[in-house]
Amino acid sequence: MELLINSLPLLGMGAVTTLYLSFAAILLSTALGLAFALCQLYGGLLLRIVVETYLYIMRGVPLLVLLFTMYYAAPYAGMEIDPTTGGIVVIAAYFGAFMTEVFRAAVLSVAVAQWEAGKAIGLTGRRIFTDIIARQAMRVAGPAYVNTCIGVVKGTSLVAIIGLVDLTYVGRQIVERTLAPFEIFGFVALVYFFICYGLSRLGKYLERRLDYVN
């Protein structure tokens, strides 16, 4: 216990980095997912082909390999990318592919009759989408979206391999120095659990709010 208490300042700094990475990647992957889902649903043929190619690549290659590729390939391309920015971009690009499918499937789950009803009362296509389709799609997408966000949080643990000092990296460094894995990694696991649990509870709350609004 004394070792854990003495290590709390370092672990706390790592936890802050993990939180920053997680929520930055969630925001960026959400934006990418929404944009690519709309491209798939309403974009032209060429745009849909580009998005489909991106989805197949991202979903077909492990996140670990993508991080290694960014870390080693960027210098050869003449790009200087710090680990924090690179980690956020790669994680967001990877999980953005999964969010694309979540949002696309949610929109497609809304009955076509909803579009027809909107047109019947004189709404424009944009108003139909924002006022009718998107509201119903959000309720459908909620659980899968929250699960993907939890995946993002757990995925950030892999950035330690590219030298980013996050919670996992700090925990590993302390364990290598002290040879006390159970206390340190137990604490690391507990921090990840509470972050993911908090996201899960937030998702439940938003679901209830959406049910109330609708």
> pLDDT tier at 152 (50, 70, 90 boundaries)?
very high
Q: How confident is the model at residue 147 (pLDDT cuts 50, 70, 90)?
A: very high
Q: Can you say whether the dihedral through the CA atoms of 8, 19, 158, 72 is positive or negative?
A: negative
Least confident of 36-50, 54-68, 155-169: 155-169
Q: Mark residue 108 as left, alpha or beta (left: phi above 0; alpha: psi -120 to 50; beta: remaining).
A: alpha
Maximum C-alpha span of the chain: 70
Tell whether the model's pLDDT for residue 23 goes beyond 70.
yes
Does the CA dihedral 138-141-145-147 come out positive or negative?
positive
Q: What is d(CA 96, CA 193) in angstroms, rounded to the nearest whole number? A: 22
The pTM for the full model equals: 0.87
